[in-house]
Amino acid sequence: MNEFGDLHSRADNGEVEAELAVGEAYELGNGVLQDYAEAIRWYRQAAEQNSSAAALNLGYMYASGRGVAKDHAEANRWFRTAADQGNLDAQLTLAGSYATGSGVRQDTTEAVRWYRKAAEQGSIQAQLYLGWAYSSGIGVPSDRSEAVRWYSRAAASGSASAQSNVGLMYASGAGVPKNEGEAVEWFRKAADQGNADGEYNLGVMYANGRGVEKNDPEAGKWYRKAADHGSADGAFDLGSMYYSGRGVEKDETAALKWWRRAAELGSPAAQYKIGNLFATGGGIPKDPVEAAKWYRMAAGLGHIDAQASLGDLYVKGEGVEKDGVEGLAYFIIAASSGQDYASRTRLIYIKRLGPELAQKAKNRADVIGQEIEAKKARLAAAPP
């Protein structure tokens, strides 16, 4: 009898581990022809004998629709079965389902409950989530001291992301006494592991002389490392250093290169800067169409100066088709956040357009504003 035949025989006799192994063999096609339906049959038999690993695998099969019709509710039923038995992977999976609303009603409180169980088993992922949840007040009341406790547990296990977050808590005095020297040490630990946030935050400390002696070239070095590892803030600040010649030789071409990278990584500040360069011809050929494109990106992420600048392009018809209603709408949005130019210009165009068109602009501003707030809320609520 070959190895699979022996395993199958033991499974036929009700040996739970063998049932699980046979299910995995059928799922993966390991020593036998791949057969998802057979995999499910054996996983189910093992799960009914309290194999948490089999219950977890059964959940994955339902979640992916392999061998059965895709059914997230049924998947989560099996994830819960495994999680209730203490299976760490199942607890993390179930927590993620509640955090995102995948197959269940979104419930951040329930997500925290399952992440806590996983965190207590040593899951760094869960500890990070709890640190973020307590810091942001999502799923639990905001508690910075508790956030520090969970971040510190993950940091002690070597998590660079957690180390950077502990550094932020010390830098701001959130949940711990403010200690910029301690913050620098935590940022350095994260940075030494190539963590972009740690590298960027360390650059900020050098740029501002916080916890270390002020050193612009050293700040630029860490901003560059952060940018190379995907930090939009690092790329933006490095671009700003090149534009002003602070800590590096002034180079507007290099500034645009790094601002463009930051913009592509989603930095509204960089998108606005690039819009300004194209609008004014600062070091590059003037191009109002490109200016409008970049202003629109930044405006959509809530950058109030970009909103005012985009409004200006619409009322003047530069780079976009002239549209006083659309322009006034952007002035209204920017003015609602206190942007000075928009606040003054808004009143001028309300009078210029008249009551009917001004009301259309206000209605349009409500729609655009809701879209911006929804986008900002999605970004703010995204877990680590």
Q: How confident is the model at residue 4 (pLDDT cuts 50, 70, 90)?
A: confident
Residue 382 has pLDDT above 70, yes or no: no
Q: What is the pLDDT of residues 236-257, one digit of tens each?
A: 999 999 999 999 999 988 999 9
Q: How confident is the model at residue 115 (pLDDT cuts 50, 70, 90)?
A: very high
- Give the pLDDT confidence score for residue 149 in this predicted structure: 98
279-283: average pLDDT: 86
Residue 282 has pLDDT above 80, yes or no: no
How much helix, strand and coil, in percent to the nearest 5, is found in the chain?
75, 0, 25
- Give the pLDDT confidence score for residue 376 in this predicted structure: 80
Residue 1 has pLDDT above 70, yes or no: no
Residue 380 has pLDDT above 90, yes or no: no
Closest by Cα among 55, 99, 57 to 80: 55
Q: How confident is the model at residue 383 (pLDDT cuts 50, 70, 90)?
A: low
Written in H, E and C, the secondary structure of the chain is CCHHHHHHHHHHCCCHHHHHHHHHHHHHCCCCCCCHHHHHHHHHHHHCCCCHHHHHHHHHHHHHCCCCCCCHHHHHHHHHHHHHCCCHHHHHHHHHHHHHCCCCCCCHHHHHHHHHHHHHCCCHHHHHHHHHHHHHCCCCCCCHHHHHHHHHHHHHCCCHHHHHHHHHHHHHCCCCCCCHHHHHHHHHHHHCCCCHHHHHHHHHHHHHCCCCCCCHHHHHHHHHHHHHCCCHHHHHHHHHHHHHCCCCCCCHHHHHHHHHHHHHCCCHHHHHHHHHHHHHCCCCCCCHHHHHHHHHHHHHCCCHHHHHHHHHHHHHCCCCCCCHHHHHHHHHHHHHCCCHHHHHHHHHHHHHHCHHHHHHHHHHHHHHHHHHHHHHHHHHHCCC
Closest by Cα among 336, 338, 323 to 365: 336
Burial of 102 (0-12, 13-18, 19+ CB in 10 A): middle
326-343: average pLDDT: 96
The CATH superfamily holding the domain 269-384 is Tetratricopeptide repeat domain (1.25.40.10)
* HSE-CB of 223 using CA atoms within 13 angstroms: 29
- Taking a C-beta distance cutoff of 8 angstroms, is the pair 330, 320 a contact? no
Q: Provide the residue ranges of all domains of the chain, joining segments of one domain with +.
A: 269-384
Residue 66 has pLDDT above 80, yes or no: yes
- Give the pLDDT confidence score for residue 102 in this predicted structure: 86
Residue 384 has pLDDT above 70, yes or no: no
276-305: average pLDDT: 94
- Give the pLDDT confidence score for residue 379 in this predicted structure: 75
Q: What is the pLDDT of residues 16-61, one digit of tens each?
A: 999 999 999 999 999 899 999 999 999 999 999 999 999 999 999 9
169-185: average pLDDT: 97
Residue 129 has pLDDT above 80, yes or no: yes
Residue 381 has pLDDT above 70, yes or no: no
Mean pLDDT of the chain: 95
- Whole-Å CA distances, 128 to 124, 132, 135, 155, 366: 6, 6, 11, 9, 36
> What percent of the chain has pLDDT above 90?
91
Q: What is the pLDDT of residues 184-210, one digit of tens each?
A: 999 999 999 999 999 999 999 999 999
Residue 142 has pLDDT above 70, yes or no: yes
DSSP H or E segment with residue 307: helix 304-316
Phi, psi of 210 (to 5 degrees): -105, 110
- Give the pLDDT confidence score for residue 5 in this predicted structure: 83
- Give the pLDDT confidence score for residue 377 in this predicted structure: 79
Rounded CA-CA distance 272/364 in Å is: 22
122-132: average pLDDT: 98
- Give the pLDDT confidence score for residue 250 in this predicted structure: 94
